[in-house]
Amino acid sequence: MYGRKGDWTVFASAKPARHLRCFRPLNGLKYSVLRKPATIQRKDTEARGRGSVEDLSHMNIKWMLRSLSLLACLTTAQADERFFTYVYESDVLPKGRWEFEQWLTYRQGYPGGDRNYNRHIWDFREEIEYGITDKLTAALYLNFRQDQKVARHTGFTDSSTFEFKGVSSEFKYQLLNPNTKPVGLALYFEPTYNGNEQELEYKVLVSKMLSDRWVLAGNVGFEQEWEREDGETKRESVLEFTAGVAYRFTPRWSAGLEGRYHSVYSGTGLGDHLGTGWFVGPNVHYGSSRWWATLTLLPQIAGSPSDGGINRGEHQTFETRLIFGINF
């Protein structure tokens, strides 16, 4: 028997386990339903009488409650939907699914802390992502950068460059599914190659959605970087902690807060400390069944070594990032 228009569709069946399935409505949420068996026919309710209608109504409620308890996919967000731009969640793409993401990151500050110039950096990343299995997702990135220095005083010269910054790949393996376990857990690995520059990035990802409203996520990251210049190789490493909380106030919209601790060291094993920046700022997210977008504003609020309360040598004073994703 079909429910009213706009309600969940629930069917009665003597063997509900054979007819369980999940689908994703247009609002991006998953609901549990029971598929209508071929043996059930719609009949005229007046001919059946009031008692039969009440029996079918009770049966609908019974099987609806049973389906909600059996299927963990109830009211979960899209597995490929990102509520943050600096914090990764533990969700992965389903097997065989593809996604394209366009990244745009803008950073503003002073080059190496030199206040004779304002520096504007635009980072562009084009990503194609694929679900290899239901636990493993892989991706390929193309990286580009526009780096502009604007003189603040006479006697200094402006400069601007646009360059290809290499190719990155990404592998994310889910250890615990956040929709079926108390918390989601995943491992993340991203190598980057750009001729004389190479990077290796490792992360541990934790996330959870509560009551289909609150999204919590946190990452621990470690990076190793090599850059060869003038016959010498410069080595650096990075320790990073990120965390985010978002609230879904409609099925499509959410808003939240992201925080980032980013610390740079000499050598590939966290040698001498070079600089640390603390960033905190708001974000907003929109998601539909086919595409989504997330925007974060992230000013630096503290840092060391300090220059006016923040670190200007290794970090920019302000960052913002927009990520746009399409599912296909």
* Domain residue ranges in the chain: 16-70, 98-327
Residue 318 has pLDDT above 70, yes or no: yes
Residue 185 has pLDDT above 90, yes or no: yes
Q: Which amino acid is at 116?
A: N
Rounded to 5°, the CA angle 287-68-13 comes to: 120
Average pLDDT (68-86) is 61
Question: Residue 149: which pLDDT band, with cuts at 50, 70 and 90?
Answer: very high
| Residue 14 phi, psi (nearest 5) | -75, -20
Q: How many Cα atoms within 13 Å fall on the side-chain side of residue 210? A: 9
Mean confidence (pLDDT) of the chain: 83
Alpha helix segments (H runs only) across the chain = 45-48, 50-70
Higher pLDDT pick, 303 / 113: 303
Question: Residue 328: which pLDDT band, with cuts at 50, 70 and 90?
Answer: confident
Compute the distance between CA of residue 42 and CA of residue 51 in angstroms, rounded to an integer.
16
Question: Residue 16: which pLDDT band, with cuts at 50, 70 and 90?
Answer: very low
pLDDT for res 20: 36
Give the containing element (helix H, strand E) for 309.
none
Which pair of tokens denotes residue 104?
């745009």
Query: Which of 159, 178, 150, 169 has the alpha carbon at shortest distance from 83?
Result: 178
**Contacts of 49 by beta carbon, 8 Å cutoff, 6+ apart:** none
Q: What is the pLDDT of residues 217-276, one digit of tens each?
A: 999 999 999 999 888 999 999 999 999 999 999 999 999 999 999 999 999 999 999 999
CB-CB neighbours of 190 under 10 Å: 18
Domain 98-327 has CATH 2.40.40.20: no
pTM for this predicted structure = 0.77
Residue 3 has pLDDT above 60, yes or no: no
Compute the distance between CA of residue 318 and CA of residue 315 in angstroms, rounded to an integer.
9
Average pLDDT (300-325) is 97
Read out DSSP for 244-299?
EEEEESSSSEEEEEEEEEEEEEETTTT-SEEEEEEEEEEEEEEE-SSEEEEEEEEE
CB-CB neighbours of 89 under 10 Å: 27
Alpha-carbon separation of residue 105 from 150, 218, 276, 319, 321 (angstroms): 19, 20, 20, 7, 4
pLDDT for res 2: 38
Higher pLDDT pick, 326 / 61: 326
Q: Which amino acid is at 218?
A: G
pLDDT for res 258: 98
| Residue 69 phi, psi (nearest 5) | -80, -30
57 Rama class: left (phi>0) / alpha (psi -120 to 50) / beta:
alpha
